[in-house]
């Protein structure tokens, strides 16, 4: 047989063998894919339907002002839900929409427990807007509207300009309100806060803030942002005079070391 004929046959055999190997690999890969896909589907069905992965215990941590039932209602989590398929980020976002919740963390504890941890916002004062009263925290977040029978929290904050509508769960971004809250925080750091009850903070501007105390017949004026210094001045003056200041209209703390009493 001529040499070139043997060479051509050999090449055809090599090509045929190569095709057979490729076809075998392709069929093997197809079978492997079908097998894995079937296992994945079977596992998914098992996970979604097996009571082994159902939520049997839900624990809420960090809630003092909020009721556990309200948090679970907001999250939409119930005993019997699937633990593995629950969306922790979605649950966290739903809980953080609650006005009293500053932060939330959702943790799965296998095989059957869900833990919801919350950090609450605490009301510190009561904001009056158009004859309506709202609890606010130290950052100016509106937490809830008070009913007429509800006692106010902290001092009443009045005369805030530019605030017509209050949306619960939203921060009230207003310089006068921020200054009023800063005055309230600064006053509480001074020892005199144990002797005086601050009942109202009027804040038409950040530099014209008047506070009213149940124990004093005059208003106390604050401003220029250094409220802690002004609180210290009030504390010194009050104790130097034994609480018997000669003021009848106002005590002005805004002028550095010069305290004006009228």
Q: CA-CA distance, 209 to 211, in Å (whole number)?
A: 7
Residues near 136 by beta carbon (within 8 Å), at least 6 away in sequence: 123, 124, 125, 126, 127, 142, 143, 157, 172, 177, 181
Q: From CA 208, how far away is CA 109, in angstroms rounded?
A: 53
Listing DSSP states for 37-66 in one string gives: HHHHHHHHHHHHH-GGGB--EEEEES-SSS
Mean pLDDT of the chain: 84
In the prediction, which pLDDT does 1 show? 52
What pLDDT, on a 0 to 100 scale, did the predictor assign at position 114? 87
Strand-by-strand arrangement of the 258-261 sheet: 142-145, 132-136, 125-129, 156-158, 198-205, 208-213, 219-222, 250-255, 258-261
Per-residue confidence (pLDDT) for residue 46, from 0 to 100: 46
pLDDT higher than 80, residue 13: no
Rounded Cα gap, residues 116 and 81, in angstroms: 15
Domain 125-261 falls under CATH 3.90.1150: no
Dihedral-angle region of residue 198 (phi above 0 means left; psi in -120 to 50 means alpha; beta otherwise): beta
Whether 120 shows a pLDDT value over 90: the answer reads yes
**pLDDT for residue 76:** 85
Question: Order of strands across the sheet with 101-109?
Answer: 57-61, 113-120, 101-109
What are the residues facing 101 on neighbouring strands?
120
Q: Number of C-alpha atoms within 13 angstroms, CB side, residue 98?
A: 27
Q: Tell me the CATH class for 52-120.
A: alpha beta
Query: Per-residue pLDDT tens for 185-224?
Result: 999 999 999 999 999 999 999 999 999 999 999 999 998 7
pLDDT on residue 61: 93
pTM value? 0.75
Instruction: State the average pLDDT over residues 166-171.
Output: 93
Domain boundaries, the chain: 3-49, 52-120, 125-261
Instruction: List the one residue out of 50, 39, 123 whose CA is nearest residue 83.
Output: 50
Determine the distance from the C-alpha atom of residue 187 to the mean position of all C-alpha atoms in its chain, rounded to a whole number. 26
d(CA 226, CA 191): 17
Residue 73 host element (H or E):
helix 68-75
What does the block give as tokens for 133?
């009263």
């Amino acid at each position: 047989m001529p040499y070139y004929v043997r060479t051509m046959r050999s090449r055809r055999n090599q090509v045929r063998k190569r095709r057979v190997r490729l076809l075998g690999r392709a069929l093997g890969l197809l079978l492997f894919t079908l097998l894995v896909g079937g296992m994945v589907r079977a596992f998914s069905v098992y996970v979604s339907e097996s009571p082994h992965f159902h939520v049997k215990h839900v624990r809420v941590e960090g809630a003092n002002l909020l009721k556990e039932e309200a948090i679970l209602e907001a999250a939409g989590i119930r005993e019997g839900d699937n633990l593995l398929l629950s969306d922790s980020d979605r649950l966290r976002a739903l809980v953080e929409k609650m006005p009293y919740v500053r932060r939330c963390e959702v943790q799965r504890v296998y095989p059957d427990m869900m833990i919801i941890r919350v950090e609450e916002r605490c009301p510190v004062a009561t904001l009056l807007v158009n004859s309506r009263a709202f609890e606010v925290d130290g950052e100016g977040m509106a937490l809830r509207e008070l009913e007429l029978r509800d006692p106010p929290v902290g001092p009443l904050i009045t005369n805030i300009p530019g605030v017509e509508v209050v949306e619960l769960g939203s921060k009230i971004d207003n310089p006068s309100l921020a200054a009023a809250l800063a005055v309230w925080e600064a006053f509480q750091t001074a020892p005199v806060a144990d002797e005086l009850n601050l009942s109202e903070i009027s804040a038409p501007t950040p530099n014209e803030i008047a506070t009213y105390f149940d124990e004093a017949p005059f208003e106390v004026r604050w401003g220029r942002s250094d409220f802690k210094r002004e609180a210290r001045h009030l504390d010194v003056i009050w104790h130097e005079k034994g609480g018997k200041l000669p003021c009848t209209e106002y005590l002005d703390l805004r002028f550095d070391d010069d305290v004006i009493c009228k």
